[in-house]
Structure 1
Amino acid sequence: MEIVQPPATAKLPAEMFTGDAWADVIYRGEGLSRARANMVRFAPGARTAWHSHGLGQTLYIVEGLALIQSRGGDIVEAHPGDVIFTPAGEEHWHGAAPDRFMAHIALWEGDEVDWLEHVTDDQYTGSRRPARTF
């Protein structure tokens, strides 16, 4: 067993995020492990740019109201406990609602992330649907 000392919280770069977002590394595999896990916290209105992952990405919503959209799809509202999977190569963005902080755990493999253009305000304020229907 090894107790891992995590790096300091990092403010995420404006080239890839609109608004203020911070990440804490939970796990970054070395050697044969390509696993990655970060706790990411978004200020109200903050969001990623459009991007895709070479091997997909899973988000576990921890707190607040998350907004997630795949290119060409609806904006999905996700709540704490919701799990969202984006398959390999699917362009998407995720972030906080305009009036709420949001935190999620992001899980992915490898460093193959293709960062694209920023999400426009018109895209961000598009129509929404809930992640789950009860």
Structure 2
Amino acid sequence: MTDERQTRGVPPEYANSLMFPVGEPNSAYAQYFTGHSWLAPLTNEQVPTANVTFEPGCINHWHKHNATSGGGQILICVGGRGYAQIEGQDPIEMTPGTVVNIPANTKHWHGAAPGSWFSHLALAVPGENTSNEWLEPVDEAEYAQLK
């Protein structure tokens, strides 16, 4: 049984529904998120992978995973409900099992739906000269239109 201390502020009933750990508060990247998130690195080997948990209404800013070759990101929803959006495309609703492929050098955001906790695995696709580029926050009025 997980208690509130072990889940670091995530409701135990939600944390216990996940097959991956919640991790620690994502303080290193907090400036790029609207709300609180938690980060649980799972592996840094061939394909670096982490479980990221978002409180209801928490999303990250627009950003890119840059690479000169290869690279990008794969998101796999493992709990709750959220969204991912590539610039110029409609938001994709993510529920457990949804997979979203983000090509390298593509502006996008992802995070929880309003009123729902959300967790996804974030897989960093290996590439050449990879880097993350954090951009502006998502427009609050556009996000507010999501259900």
TM over 0.5: yes
**Matched AA of 1:114:** E
More strand by share: 1
**Matched AA of 1:14:** A
1:81 is paired with a residue whose SS is coil
2:80 pairs, out of 64, 72, 93, with 64
RMSD (Å), alpha carbons: 2.0
Query: Are 2:25 and 2:38, in contact at CA under 8 Å, matched by a contact in 1?
Result: yes
Percent sequence identity over aligned pairs? 35
TM-score, normalization by structure 2: 0.73
**Matched AA of 2:55:** A
2:40 pairs, out of 5, 24, 33, with 24
Q: How many residues align?
A: 118
Correspondence 1:52 to 2:64: yes
More helix by share: 2
Structure 1 partner of 2:50: 38
Structure 1 partner of 2:26: 11
Query: Unmatched 5+ residue regions in structure 2?
Result: 1-22
Structure 2 partner of 1:119: 138
Whole-angstrom CA distance in 1 between matches of 2:120 and 2:55: 12
Whole-angstrom CA distance in 1 between matches of 2:62 and 2:35: 14
**Matched AA of 2:58:** A
